[in-house]
Structures are given as C-alpha cells and as structure tokens.
Amino acid sequence: MNADKSQPHWSPFSYIVINLARQIRANEVTFSGVNSTLPMLACLLAKRAYDFHFTYINVAGGVEPQPTKIPHSSSDPAIVAGSAAIFANQDFYDLCARGGMDLAYLGCAQIDAEGRTNVSVIGSWHEPKVRLPGGGGAAVMLPTAKRIVTWRTEHSPRSLVEKLDFVTAAGNLAALITPIAVFQRRNGRLALESWHPASSVDEVVQRTGFKFDAAGATRTAPATFDELAALEAIDADRAFEQEAAIKAG
C-alpha cells in the first residue's frame, strides 16, 4: 500500500465496519446474518453514530436489541438482550418474501463481477478442494431482500473472481466492502465507488480477479468523529479488532 498520513484513523478493521455501517439508510429494516460479526458491529455502530432511525434485526432473533455486552458471535443469545420481539428463522425468510427486508448482510467465500456469491465449494462440486458451510438462507434472501451487502476480509483474485467455482446465490447484491475498497453494483456489475486512502485504483485493479468500472470513484471519505467514537464504545479494548485480524496487504 502507498503510505498516506492524511487518514490516520482507518485500520483495515475500522474501514470494513464503518463502510458496512454506511450502507444503512433511514427507516430501513436491516438484518445481519450468521457468522457476521463485522456487520453486527456495523449495525450497532450505526445505532450510535447516525441521527436517523432504522430497525435492526439479527440472526439470533433479536428485533431492535440493546445488548449490555456485545458477544463475539453474531448468533450468541446475548445479542437479543433488550429486544422488542424475537424472530424465528422462518420469520426472516417470510419478511424477505413479502418485500419487507430492505437490507441484509450476507457473507461469501467468492464473489464475481455480477454480484453472485459462492459459499458452497472451492474447486469441483464432485471433488472439491474445500467444502464450505453452504448457502443457509442466502439462496432465499439474496434474490428477495431489496439490497444485499457482502464483505471480504481479504481482497485478492482468489475471492473476487472472474468465475465462481459454484453459484450458491444470485440476486440483489448491492455492495461489496473489502479492506481496501468499496464497490457498488451498477448496471448489473460491481463498480468501484471508493478506495482506502492508503491504497490506489491500480492496487485495487491488481488485486481483483474481475474487471470493473472505476469511473467516478474517489478516495473513501474519512471516518467521522461520531463513527470513530461509536466504534471505540463498542470495541474499547480492541478485542474484536484483534480477533478479526484483518490485513490490508
């Protein structure tokens, strides 16, 4: 990466969490899924940092939770503390099917330029190199939630690929966040919206396995005081940051 002292606050961890939070819009119903600690933190950060209302639902079932202690697993029952209601899994799917889910965060192992995701296998389906956890609710939620946002803690051609090893889900993928870039889907393909100030468009190109449009892309806007204060409040001892162990390079 190219050193840039003008943005001292961005770490790979804060870059992903805050830019995930920035995908949330006022009055939306927003969902964070299983194995989704970073989006869970992003939703809790947004509740503290932004002056608009949105409804937060998590995969543990919490509706508008107010946890006294933030767990390290996005499925921990502690994340439902203070909830106005508890949802079962079928309630999430039903809400999506009825058009009531505005934004859902769903993870992936691979993603292609069209916003399709793979969480099934690496390599051949019949003789895979790696058998992944599987789609879970992705095949239902990705085409039915109004917007899906995903993230990768590693930005490389092996995860941002020209061709998926297996298409687990496709549909309404809207954005991809990595340690060095923010992509938004435009005209059916992921396009570069902004890049980490310590990086460059050239670096993003070199580390991405698919071609993308970078017209109009800019350096990512600095983290605000409210965003940094909220992140400090939810990860005061940096335990989440250390556990995530995200590397930009």
The residue extents of the domains of the chain are 12-236
Q: Is the pLDDT of residue 3 over 70?
A: no
Helical H segments across the chain, by residue range: 12-21, 37-49, 89-97, 138-144, 201-206, 225-234, 239-244
pTM equals 0.92
What pLDDT shows up at residue 4?
46
**Which of the pair, 113 or 66, is modelled with greater confidence?**
113
- 172 and 146 Cβ atoms separated by less than 8 Å: yes
What pLDDT shows up at residue 82?
82
Report, at the CATH architecture level, how domain 12-236 is classified. 3-Layer(aba) Sandwich (3.40)
Contacts of 200 (CB under 8 A, 6+ apart): 2
What pLDDT shows up at residue 136?
78
Q: Is the pLDDT of residue 26 over 50?
A: yes
What band does 2 get if pLDDT is binned at 50, 70 and 90?
very low
What pLDDT shows up at residue 134?
79
Q: Is the pLDDT of residue 6 over 50?
A: no
pLDDT tens for 190-231 read 999 999 999 999 999 999 999 999 999 999 999 999 999 999
Specify whether the backbone of 98 is left (phi greater than 0), alpha (psi in -120 to 50) or beta. alpha
Q: What is the C-alpha to C-alpha distance for residues 74 and 49, in angstroms, rounded to an integer?
A: 20
